[in-house]
Amino acid sequence: MVQHTRREDASARCLGWRWSQVNDAGSLPGVHLCCRRRCGRGCARSSCGGKSVVRIRNWFRRVVDRKPDESAEKHSGGVGSARVTVSLEVGGGPCVEVAGTTTFAKPAVVALVDRYQLPERGYFEAGAWLQREPENPVDVDAVAVIVEGEKVGNLPSYRARALQLPPQASTEVRYQLHVLQGEKWAAKAFIWLGPGAPQWTYSADSPPALTSRQRTLAAAKQQSEMVREALEGGGDRARQFQRGMYQGVHYLQLVEPIKQLKREDRLEEALALCYQAIKGAEQDRGGREPAPWYTEQAAIVHRKLGQHQEEITVLERWLSMTPPDRRGGSTIAERHRKCVEKKGLPKADHGT
Which among 126, 161, 192 is the end of a domain?
A: 192
334 and 216 inside one domain: yes
315 within a domain of the structure (yes/no): yes
| pLDDT at 322 > cutoff 80 | yes
220 and 330 inside one domain: yes
282 and 180 inside one domain: no
199 within a domain of the structure (yes/no): no
Return the CATH number at 92: 3.30.70
216 and 337 inside one domain: yes
Q: Which residue has the higher pLDDT, 140 or 183?
A: 140
242 and 336 inside one domain: yes
23 and 61 inside one domain: yes
Q: Which residues of 103-127 are buried (b: 16+ CB within 10 A; e: fewer)?
A: eebeebbeebbebbebeeebebbee
What's residue 215's pLDDT?
A: 74
153: left (phi over 0), alpha (psi -120 to 50) or beta: left
**For the chain, what is the domain count?**
3
What's residue 88's pLDDT?
A: 57
pLDDT above 70 covers a percentage of the chain that reads 71
250 and 309 inside one domain: yes
109 and 174 inside one domain: yes
22 within a domain of the structure (yes/no): yes
Which among 144, 164, 192 is the end of a domain?
A: 192
181 and 242 inside one domain: no
What's residue 296's pLDDT?
A: 96
220 and 328 inside one domain: yes
pLDDT above 90 covers a percentage of the chain that reads 49
pLDDT digits (tens, 9 = 90+) for 203-262: 999 899 887 777 777 777 777 888 888 888 989 889 989 999 998 999 999 998 999 899
Q: Which residue has the higher pLDDT, 351 or 195?
A: 195
| CB burial of residue 250 (10 Å; 0-12, 13-18, 19+) | buried
310 within a domain of the structure (yes/no): yes
148 and 93 inside one domain: yes
288 and 168 inside one domain: no
pLDDT digits (tens, 9 = 90+) for 78-117: 444 556 555 555 556 899 999 999 999 999 999 999 999 9
Which among 157, 192, 227 is the end of a domain?
A: 192
What span, in angstroms and rounded, lies between the C-alpha atoms of 281 and 102?
36
pLDDT band per the 50, 70, 90 thresholds, residue 349: low
352 within a domain of the structure (yes/no): no
322 within a domain of the structure (yes/no): yes
What's residue 54's pLDDT?
A: 47
Across-strand partners of 122? 179
Domain limits for position 46: 4-65
75 within a domain of the structure (yes/no): no
70 within a domain of the structure (yes/no): no
CB 32 within 8 A of CB 38: no
